[in-house]
């Protein structure tokens, strides 16, 4: 018999894609608010914020932990078609690529629209890159040890909170700070590596459950989701360990709740990760049996997360440029980010829209990106060119 080889399509887990896709949509909300919302105060500070503004920022806290967790999960699942050596090489080279994206393409053509390097942030792509590089070494260990490494790092790193140092290495590892500060150039570590590396390692361990039977997997996701969420409520209520900032009684009960939920993201505290990863597990459990019809458009974004990520920021920034020109007749502010207080743009006098307008602009950004992401998802499905994996 003579058989003709059929094209091999990549097997994808729809539940992971849908969770990732929803997170990508939420991420655009936070960045739309950064560029086009009112600036000058911390939206999660109970003393100065409003309830709608707080939750607009708070809901997007889930984005980064999901990025890192599912990066590890995806790495484990890729062992279906890669050897450990191939996976290690892939993670290492893609980590180097993400560092380049962070420091060059994303910085100059996304966040800041300038090439002066007066102000540079080591942001999410930077931490994700190093998490992949570390994981490229960890994959040679048994998955149980990688998981243990990740969980211990997440649970114990707040023991380091009392240690203060201006050493650049310590800033890279745990404490956000400037690692370069000279008159013309500043480099600030916004995403220290601990415990993001741990979240990625824990995600690698999570990948194991996707070889289990559906019933066993869903039971595990539900129990872990409830357990992590409960642990957050209990530990936060004790107000002793897990976050460097304690919650306090505020001027009204609603704002006391905001203080309770206002955990530290930079670096992500144990309580921050319990607060975000618990609902993530519950979300994975909820969609494990099938994707609700109203969420199916998010699948497109979940299949091409890096492509979406690299497109959404320039689009939002360009939209800010257009709005600025229409309102002020000049746009130089949109290309200036001289210091951390004026990042990623220098807000013109009176800059910023109300929350309802920000939400409308966010919807426009997401809808505008859909056709391009759908095209690229179809391209990835049809072809397996190596360059596609870089996007």
pLDDT band at 6 (very low <50, low <70, confident <90, very high): very low
Residue 284, pLDDT score? 96
CB 85 within 8 Å of CB 123: no
What does the pLDDT average to over 263-271? 96
Q: Are strands 177-182 and 185-189 parallel, antiparallel or unpaired?
A: antiparallel
Neighbours of 338 (CB within 10 A): 14
| pLDDT tens profile 11-31 | 568 999 999 999 999 999 999
Does this model's pTM top 0.85? yes
Residue 24, pLDDT score? 96
Percent of the chain with pLDDT over 70: 97
Residue 2: pLDDT above 60? no
Residue 1: pLDDT above 50? no
For the chain, the average pLDDT equals 93
Kindly list the distances between the CA atom of residue 285 and the CA atoms of 60, 91, 224, in Å, as whole numbers in the listed order. 20, 27, 10
Kindly list the distances between the CA atom of residue 345 and the CA atoms of 101, 113, 166, 355, 360, in Å, as whole numbers in the listed order. 19, 9, 27, 19, 21
| pLDDT tens profile 66-99 | 999 999 999 999 999 999 999 999 999 999 999 9
What does the pLDDT average to over 304-324? 96
Kindly list the distances between the CA atom of residue 262 and the CA atoms of 5, 46, 240, 246, 250, in Å, as whole numbers in the listed order. 55, 8, 15, 9, 12
CB 198 within 8 Å of CB 153: yes
Percent of the chain with pLDDT over 90: 86
Residue 258, pLDDT score? 95
Residue 288: pLDDT above 50? yes
What does the pLDDT average to over 122-127? 96
What does the pLDDT average to over 301-316? 95
**Both tokens assigned to 55:** 């939750």
Dihedral of the alpha carbons of 47, 51, 54, 57, in degrees to the nearest 10: -170
Residue 36: pLDDT above 80? yes
| pLDDT tens profile 126-183 | 999 999 999 999 999 999 999 999 999 999 999 999 888 889 999 999 999 999 999 8
If you compute the radius of gyration of the chain from its CA atoms, what whole number of angstroms results? 21
**Both tokens assigned to 357:** 């307008």
Q: Are strands 185-189 and 119-122 parallel, antiparallel or unpaired?
A: parallel
Chain-centroid distance of CA 259 in Å reads 22
* Phi, psi values for residue 114, rounded to 5°: -150, 165
What does the pLDDT average to over 344-369? 95
pLDDT band at 318 (very low <50, low <70, confident <90, very high): very high
What does the pLDDT average to over 270-275? 98
Residue 18, pLDDT score? 95
Residue 4, pLDDT score? 35
CB 222 within 8 Å of CB 285: yes
Residue 31, pLDDT score? 96
pLDDT higher at 251 or 144? 144
Residue 11, pLDDT score? 52
b/e 57-80 (16+ beta carbons within 10 angstroms → b)? bbebbbbbbbbbbbbbbbbbbbee
User: What is the SS3 string spanning 61-122?
Assistant: HHHHHHHHHHHHHHHHHHHHCCCHHHHHHHHHHHHHHHHHHHHHHHHHHHHCCCCCCCEEEE
Q: How far is residue 285's CA from residue 291's CA, in Å, rounded to a whole number? A: 11
């Amino acid at each position: 018999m003579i058989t003709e080889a059929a094209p091999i399509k990549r097997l994808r887990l729809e539940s992971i894609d849908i969770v990732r896709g929803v997170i990508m949509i939420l991420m655009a909300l936070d960045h739309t608010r950064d560029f086009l919302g009112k600036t000058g105060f911390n939206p999660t500070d109970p003393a100065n914020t409003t309830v709608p503004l707080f939750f607009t920022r708070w809901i997007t806290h889930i984005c980064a932990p999901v990025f890192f967790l599912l990066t590890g999960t995806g790495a484990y699942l890729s062992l279906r078609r890669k050897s450990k050596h191939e996976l290690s090489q892939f993670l290492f080279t893609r980590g180097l690529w993400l560092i380049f994206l962070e420091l060059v393409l994303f910085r100059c053509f996304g966040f800041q629209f300038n090439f002066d390097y007066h102000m540079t942030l080591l942001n999410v792509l930077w931490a994700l890159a190093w998490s992949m590089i570390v994981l490229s070494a960890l994959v040679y260990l048994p998955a149980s040890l990688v998981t243990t490494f990740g969980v211990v790092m997440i649970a114990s790193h707040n023991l380091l909170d009392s240690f203060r140092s201006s050493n650049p290495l310590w800033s890279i590892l745990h404490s956000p700070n400037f690692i370069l500060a000279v008159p013309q150039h500043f480099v600030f570590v916004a995403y220290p590596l601990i415990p993001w590396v741990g979240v990625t390692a824990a995600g690698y361990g999570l990948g194991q459950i996707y070889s289990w039977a559906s019933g066993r997997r869903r039971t595990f996701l539900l129990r872990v989701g409830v357990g992590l969420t409960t642990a957050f409520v209990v530990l936060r209520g004790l107000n002793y360990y897990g976050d460097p900032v304690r919650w306090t009684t505020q001027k009204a009960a609603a704002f006391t709740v905001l203080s309770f939920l206002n955990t530290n993201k930079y670096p992500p505290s144990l309580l921050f990760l319990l607060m975000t990863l618990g609902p993530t597990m519950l979300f994975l459990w909820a969609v494990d049996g099938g994707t609700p019809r109203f969420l199916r458009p998010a699948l497109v974004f979940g299949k091409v997360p890096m492509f979406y990520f690299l497109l959404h920021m320039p689009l939002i920034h360009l939209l800010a440029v257009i709005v600025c020109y229409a309102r002020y007749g000049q746009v130089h502010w949109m290309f200036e980010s001289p210091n951390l207080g004026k990042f990623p743009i220098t807000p013109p006098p009176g800059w910023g829209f109300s929350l309802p307008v920000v939400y409308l602009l966010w919807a426009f950004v997401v809808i505008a990106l859909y056709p391009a992401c759908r095209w690229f998802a179809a391209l990835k499905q049809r072809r397996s060119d190596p360059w596609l994996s870089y996007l």
